[in-house]
Amino acid sequence: MKLPNKVYDSLKWALTIVAPASIVLIKALGAIYHFDTDAITATIAAVATFAGSLFMISSTQYKKEDK
């Protein structure tokens, strides 16, 4: 599967910036307001890791096609 450059850039930004920043924000708010954040941060991390794996497969295939 070959992704358009705009989609690739958007996904890369979401996986490398938004997901980790969201986890940190939720953890910090949980510490401030004393609520459990484990389930939601684990879910975000799991989804981001899964998406990153699929993203890497797509990137590898793109590089193979480019050669």
**What does the block give as tokens for 30?**
């949980």
User: What confidence tens digit (pLDDT) does each residue in 28-66 have?
Assistant: 999 999 999 999 999 999 999 999 888 887 777 777 776
pLDDT of residue 1: 61
Helix axis angle for 38-66 and 5-13, nearest 10°, is: 150
Handedness of CA 7, 10, 13, 15 (dihedral sign): negative
| Predicted TM-score of the model (pTM) | 0.80
Helix axis angle for 38-66 and 19-33, nearest 10°, is: 170
